[in-house]
């Protein structure tokens, strides 16, 4: 294994070489075995494998399918078995370069026909935008390609792709979001958040990639402000707490996700999972949870462009009955992250 080194008790640093990346969830051997509670200091390449560096680097020319959306991992988490859940806490996400790229991709995106929403129309023009990242001031600069307009947007780093090996003996492309996680593309996957992923195979086989300096809800053109990322996560294990769809927890909210087509099915999955989570962990009867959610939920779209669309259902923890989710693992990981950051 190239680039992996245990730099201290419970900290693993892994910076993949070109040949170390993987392009699927499932179907590939782990790059390392880690104990629950390990801090992972990772480098992730951007979704173009770093090949789009200027406005002339059209994806159709420089990227070779299926070698798109490289993932760092997978990591075998010791003791993880089907029926358990991985808790992945995002300690920090820092863009690794001072620029990022976005682009239209022929027959991909929400405002174009696609290989699935198939029409006789020609594809949209292929255009690349290079975004300048001011990492100190936490800004991303948009530069119009067809006018003089520029504007600075706040940086809000996130990972588009986070997941484990899927169930049913499958291996899925890293472009796909589904119940194993994968390419969900939700801006909620930011520092300070814990992501819960149900374990489908022994060791879970966790990997991540697809850093975005920022992204709009729905990822309209299909491509965010794509950048390489230096990311620190803590990977923990919750035994015997199944998690049917990826869930997230921040200091203020719990969130369920659903990934499916059509988009209303993604919405239904996320909303139903949240109702059922409120029932199982918070003791709120299902119909009461349905009613409370109907008035209290936020439903930010993640992506409306990928193989499956992803919807998030999000509710404030202060509005819920007392007990913390999964026995308070988020709070504990928050503290471990603070200790790690203080010691760095």
Rounded alpha-carbon distances, angstroms, from residue 290 to 220, 272, 275: 29, 8, 6
Q: Considering only residues 32, 35, 62, 110, which one is a binding residue for a copy of itself as defined by CB under 8 A?
A: 110
**Site for a copy of itself contains 290 (CB under 8 A):** yes
Q: Considering only residues 32, 113, 138, 141, which one is a binding residue for a copy of itself as defined by CB under 8 A?
A: 113
Q: Which of residues 261-280 bind a copy of itself (CB under 8 A)?
A: 261-265, 267-269, 271-273, 275
Q: Considering only residues 89, 159, 172, 330, which one is a binding residue for a copy of itself as defined by CB under 8 A?
A: 172
Q: Considering only residues 83, 319, 328, 335, which one is a binding residue for a copy of itself as defined by CB under 8 A?
A: 319
Q: Which of residues 42-71 bind a copy of itself (CB under 8 A)?
A: 65-66
Quote the least distance from Cβ 166 to a copy of itself, whole Å: 9
- For β-strands 11-14 and 4-8, DSSP reports them as antiparallel
Quote the least distance from Cβ 80 to a copy of itself, whole Å: 19
d(C-alpha 262, C-alpha 273), whole Å = 17
Quote the least distance from Cβ 289 to a copy of itself, whole Å: 9
- For β-strands 38-44 and 11-14, DSSP reports them as parallel
**Site for a copy of itself contains 35 (CB under 8 A):** no
- Please say which residue, 127 or 339, places its beta carbon nearer to a copy of itself: 127
d(C-alpha 261, C-alpha 321), whole Å = 33
Six token digits for residue 61? 């020319």
Task: From 140, 112, 344, select the one nearest 222 (Cα to Cα).
Answer: 112
Q: Considering only residues 1, 6, 18, 286, which one is a binding residue for a copy of itself as defined by CB under 8 A?
A: 286
Six token digits for residue 138? 């936490």
d(C-alpha 163, C-alpha 204), whole Å = 9
**One-character DSSP codes across 28-66:** S--SEEE-TTEEEEEEE--TTTT---STT--HHHH--TT
Q: Which of residues 87-106 bind a copy of itself (CB under 8 A)?
A: 102, 104
Contacts of 222 (CB under 8 A, 6+ apart): 104, 105, 108, 109, 110, 303, 305, 306
Write the interaction track for a copy of itself spanning residues 180-199; mark x where CB under 8 A is met and - where it is not.
--------------------
Q: Considering only residues 297, 325, 326, 329, which one is a binding residue for a copy of itself as defined by CB under 8 A?
A: 297
Quote the least distance from Cβ 27 to a copy of itself, whole Å: 6
**Site for a copy of itself contains 137 (CB under 8 A):** no
Q: Which of residues 213-272 bind a copy of itself (CB under 8 A)?
A: 214-225, 258, 260-265, 267-269, 271-272
């Amino acid at each position: 294994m190239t680039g992996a080194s245990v730099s201290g008790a419970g900290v693993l640093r892994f910076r993949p070489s070109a040949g170390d990346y993987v392009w699927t969830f499932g179907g590939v051997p782990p790059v390392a075995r880690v104990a629950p509670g390990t801090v992972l200091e990772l480098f992730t390449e951007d979704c173009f494998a770093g090949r789009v560096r200027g406005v002339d680097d059209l994806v159709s020319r420089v990227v070779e399918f299926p070698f798109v959306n490289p993932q760092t991992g997978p990591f075998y988490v010791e003791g993880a078995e089907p029926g358990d859940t991985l808790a992945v806490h995002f300690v920090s996400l820092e863009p690794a370069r001072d620029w990022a790229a976005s682009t239209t991709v022929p027959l991909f995106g929400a405002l174009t026909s696609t290989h699935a929403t198939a029409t006789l129309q020609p594809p949209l023009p292929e255009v690349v935008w290079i975004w300048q990242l001011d990492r100190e001031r936490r800004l991303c600069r948009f530069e119009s390609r067809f006018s003089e307009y520029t504007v600075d947007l706040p940086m809000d780093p996130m990972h588009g792709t986070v997941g484990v090996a899927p169930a049913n003996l499958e291996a899925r492309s890293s472009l796909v979001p589904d119940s194993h996680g994968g390419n969900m593309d939700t801006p909620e996957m930011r520092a300070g958040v814990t992501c819960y992923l149900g374990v489908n195979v022994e060791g879970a086989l966790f990997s991540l990639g697809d850093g975005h300096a920022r992204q709009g809800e729905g990822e309209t053109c299909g491509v965010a402000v794509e950048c390489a990322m230096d990311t620190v996560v803590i990977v923990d294990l919750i035994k015997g707490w199944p998690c049917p769809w990826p869930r997230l927890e921040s200091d203020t909210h719990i969130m369920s996700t659903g990934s499916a087509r059509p988009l209303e099915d993604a919405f239904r999955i996320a909303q139903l999972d949240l109702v059922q989570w409120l029932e199982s962990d918070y003791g709120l009867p299902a119909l009461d949870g349905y009613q409370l959610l109907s008035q209290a939920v936020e439903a930010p779209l993640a992506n409306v462009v990928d193989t499956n669309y992803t919807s998030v259902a999000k509710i404030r923890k202060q509005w819920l009955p007392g007990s913390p989710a999964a026995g308070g693992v988020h709070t504990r990981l928050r503290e471990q992250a603070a200790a790690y950051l203080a010691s760095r």
